[in-house]
């Protein structure tokens, strides 16, 4: 976690648990969703939490940059350290790194497509990625998986507030209104040396063990 500014991340986690809905005295858990067909069958050599390629000449990855800041809690609002969070998604052109993804020959070679981050002592994690591109039948979304002590405890998908594709997305519309809200990101624009980027903050809540 060395390539981008951590100040907002370090300030974010204390408020994330408070922003999650409370049900019967506990925090509502993050809804589960299907993994989908494009979890990488060949993981990239680089599996860190920065999915963007940047060198002395500037950004090479195509698309709008998105900084994702989150924290993992159990339903009793206890932050969970040493939990592994994974994300995977389509690039700016709607193409995954999976070997059987459609139009793979047109994939952005400078986009990592998959990343991992271990939570710190406060349960916090972060990723730098791009706004996912669209492909037929789906709205804009990011896949997320959580592993605790090597056990897979959550697989879900994150969506984007106000996206025009949400109303016709079958996976998104399997959720109740309350579940949709818990899986919806609200990206906020901010200025960077390479132009406008976006950031989104969100809690991830798993059942207490």
Active-site pick, 69, 96, 159, 198? 96
DSSP lists the bridge partners of residue 130 as 65
Q: Establish whether 163 is a catalytic residue.
A: no
Q: Establish whether 98 is a catalytic residue.
A: no
Active-site pick, 39, 93, 110, 135? 135
CA distance 104 to 133: 14
Q: Which residue from 54, 50, 91, 44 is spatially nearest to 68, judged by alpha carbons?
A: 50
Active-site pick, 107, 138, 182, 201? 138
Q: Is 201 helix (H, G, I), strand (E, B) or coil?
A: strand
Active-site pick, 141, 159, 182, 198? 141
Q: Which residue from 74, 72, 98, 97 is spatially nearest to 85, judged by alpha carbons?
A: 72
DSSP lists the bridge partners of residue 111 as 52
Q: Establish whether 141 is a catalytic residue.
A: yes
Active-site pick, 143, 159, 182, 201? 143
| DSSP per residue, 137-192 | T--SEEEEEEEETTEEEEEEEEEETT-TTGGG-TTGGGS-HHHHHHTEE--EEEEE
- Residues with a catalytic annotation lie at 96, 135, 138, 141, 143
């Amino acid at each position: 976690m060395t390539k981008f500014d951590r100040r907002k991340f370090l300030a974010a986690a204390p408020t994330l648990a408070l922003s999650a809905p409370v049900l019967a005295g506990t925090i509502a858990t993050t809804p589960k969703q299907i993994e989908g067909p494009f979890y990488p069958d060949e993981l990239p050599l680089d599996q860190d939490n920065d999915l963007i390629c940047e060198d002395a000449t500037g950004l090479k990855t195509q698309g709008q940059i998105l900084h994702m800041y989150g924290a993992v809690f159990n339903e009793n609002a206890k932050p969970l350290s040493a939990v592994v969070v994974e994300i995977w998604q389509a690039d700016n052109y709607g193409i995954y790194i999976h070997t059987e993804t459609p139009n793979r020959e047109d994939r952005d070679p400078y986009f990592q497509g998959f990343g991992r981050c271990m939570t710190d002592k406060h349960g916090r994690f972060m990723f730098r990625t791009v706004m996912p591109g669209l492909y037929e039948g789906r709205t804009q979304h990011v896949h997320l998986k959580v592993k605790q002590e090597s056990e897979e405890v959550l697989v879900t998908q994150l969506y984007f507030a106000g996206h025009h594709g949400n109303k016709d997305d079958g996976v998104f519309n399997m959720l109740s209104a309350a579940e949709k809200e818990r899986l919806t990101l609200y990206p906020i624009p901010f200025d960077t040396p390479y132009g406008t980027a976006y950031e989104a903050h969100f809690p991830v809540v798993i059942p207490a063990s």
